[in-house]
Structure 1
Amino acid sequence: MLSDAILLALAPVFFVMGLGYAAGRMHIVENHQVDSLNKLVMDFALPASVFAATASASRSEMLAQAPLFAISGGVMLLLYLAWYVRQHASSKIGKEDAALQALTIAFPNLAGVGLPIVSAVLGPTGVVPVAVTLAAGSILVSPLTLILLEINGGKDGGAAGPMTARILGALRRALTKPVVLAPVLGIALSLSEVRLGPVVDACLLLIGHAAAGVALFLTGLVLSGQSFRLDWKVVRATAAADIIRPLLTALVVFILPVSAETAKVAILLAAVPSGFFGILFAVNYRLDSATAGSMVIASTVFSIITMAIAIAVLFPG
């Protein structure tokens, strides 16, 4: 039955996320010092998983993902810029906070929610489109946020060094992160038809298999340390992330000549709730993370409904 398939896809995701949330709220695991778990996910497990998935894909399979990269990246960038410009123009918040909010809304939680959901719906082949979409967001909106943070303050008030040097430094830091380099290198190996061999694949997958579960636990843990404040900005942000993002993607794939499979995967990944990069960036740059945290909590809870609808409509079988 369709309801069983939806439950099978969503229940494990929110169960593990709930475990992380409960562990943080009950102080079983420290929810304000998540650097170590974050490094495990973002610097080791997730890069290993997406690198193995992309590098092992054939050249034809990887070329078939080009429309997904363009569509997902374009939608994220458009939503990012729209929210940033509107917030900066119509409210009293600074450019740094507007950038963090835009990142939170535009960049879905592909590591924590997207990977296990798509894997449950599509099977092992779902890792490749998640890796490609993650690469699109990591190359486009994540570096843009870092640049805006550096230009408008940085960690120490924005007085350190010339503007050009700060921008180049922000780009270097963003583009040399393992979670960015891994899919890029994997895509390059796939396109060049270089194969790593079964031993290397097995080594990478052993740590890579931890990515989805630990990322979900980390998401719940991060959310447990955030104060929740429901206001109209959070409501609008939730609507933008959970409703407008997948509908905008649906409009794009309807207009463009893309395959039905690419269209369905693009919409499903666009329906994934807001990611927690904005929270982590806020902590790193000593900025207020309460608004971004509220956005992530509301988006994650509401996505139980929107993702169930997306799976039912896109994958009725």
Structure 2
Amino acid sequence: MLDIFGITLPIFLLIGVGYLAVRLRIIDKPQVRGLGVFVIHCALPALIVRALVSRPLDETFNLYYLLAYGLGSLVVFIGALFIARRRRHKPLDASALYALGMSASNSGFIGYPVAALVVGSPAVAAMALNFLIENLLIIPAALTLAEVSSQRGSSARVVLIRTARQLLKNPIILAILAGTSLALSGLSLPTPVFRAIDMLAMAAAPTALFVIGGTLYGLKARGMAGDVTQIAIGKLIVHPLAVLLAFLALPPIDPVLMTTGILFACAPMISVYPIFGQRYGLGEITAATLMVTTLAAFLTISLAIWLLQASSLFVVS
């Protein structure tokens, strides 16, 4: 178990460095948000482009991985939406946000650093595929339902068009399109350009973890135990199990990719979760849930790695 903590502890120590930097006023929240913009708009896109142009395209895009991870995430999303809406009688916008929190992982800021330490380079390809599922399926579905519920006078069709336009401006989606186009064309990037992209890509993981830590400072989780616990359990336990079952239900896949997918599913929810929550009057609970889930993930991810190591179905270095 100590070797597992050797994998997860550095990740959460970097998160702790970000937290302490804000707490000690070495850096303030607006500066942390600026670093987050750097990660989303520069470092992660560079990481994706580097991965796509550095290996054959058929090694990156795996249909069974997309189906398994997408199916597992979608089942959790629909199940969480049903429970929140029908069983707990939450409004549709709140139900959609609860479902989003349980089914969309923080693939770039936490999932990738964890998976990269466990399985190595395949984590980058899996991250690109996860971004497709999260940005083209889970997040648009949640925001469409929440927008319709908020009674802003917009039809579902208008909301979908607006969401599609936003996706076309998403730097992650643009990086996937650019990297795929380069890989299909067979063109090679000039050496100085590739080196610049490589330097940006190397900054992605540590900066992302620092940003998560800085974001957590000041968040509180008082008086929301029931909802926070439900969303956290759904994200950290139900989502990985659903992805695992989806992998086992589909034709056999490379054990490394299956391991990677489960590790990504073990990550907490997306870091912009509280931002979405604020838009629909759920800022406090989404912020509290992000904090609790991220802290609890230290134990659940360590346990998941231990279980993966103990099973012959998976590959853990």
Could you say what secondary structure the match of 1:279 adopts? Answer: helix
Match of 1:251 among 245, 264, 275: 245
Aligned with residue 54 of structure 1, among 48, 52, 55: 52
Query: Does residue 68 in structure 1 map to residue 65 in structure 2?
Result: yes
Secondary structure of the residue aligned to 2:40 is: helix
Once structures 1 and 2 are overlaid, which stretch shifts more, 214-223 or 257-266? Answer: 257-266
Q: Deviations over 1:238-283 (max 9, x none)?
A: 2111111111122122222222222222212211222223212234
Cα offset for 1:178?
0.5
2: CA distance between counterparts of 1:219 and 1:239?
A: 20
Question: Equivalent pairs: percent with the same residue?
Answer: 25
User: Where in structure 1 do 4 or more consecutive aligned residues deviate above 6 Å?
Assistant: none
- Give the partner amino acid of 2:2: S
Q: Of 84, 88, 92, which aligns to 1:87?
A: 84
Judge conservation of contact 1:271–1:307 (CA < 8 Å) in 2: yes
| Alignment match of 2:306 (pick from 283, 305, 312) | 312
Matched, 1:216 2:204: no
Which sections of structure 2, spanning at least 5 residues, go unmatched?
310-315
Cα RMSD of the aligned pairs, angstroms, is 2.4
Q: Given the alignment of the two structures, is residue 137 of structure 1 paired with residue 131 of structure 2, yes or no?
A: no
Contact preservation (8 Å) 2:43, 2:201: yes
Alignment of 1:269-280 (within 5 A): 269-280=264-275
CA distance in 2, matches of 1:112, 1:258: 29
Q: Aligned match of 1:202 in 179, 185, 195?
A: 195
TM-score normalized with structure 2 length: 0.87
Q: Residues 1-317 of structure 1: matches in 2 within 5 Å?
A: 3-4=2-3, 6-31=4-29, 34-63=32-61, 65-91=62-88, 93-153=90-150, 158-159=152-153, 164-229=157-222, 230-259=224-253, 260-283=255-278, 285=279, 287-315=281-309, 317=317
Q: Distance in 2 between matches of 1:303 and 1:135?
A: 23
- Sort the Cα spacing of 1:110 and 1:10 in 2 relative to 1 into closer, same or farther, 3 A: same
Q: Normalising by structure 1, what TM-score? A: 0.87
Relative to structure 1, is the Cα distance of residues 151 and 194 closer, same or farther in structure 2, using a 3 angstrom cutoff?
farther
Q: Secondary structure at the match of 2:29?
A: coil
C-alpha deviation, 1:211, in angstroms: 1.4
CA distance in 1, matches of 2:95, 2:142: 10
Residues 132 and 183 in structure 1, CA contact (< 8 A), matched pair in contact too: no
Name the count of aligned residue pairs. 309
How far does the alpha carbon of each residue in 1:135-171 deviate from its partner, in whole angstroms, 9 at most, with x for none? 2211111222332333233xxx614x66533431122
Shift of 1:192: 4.9
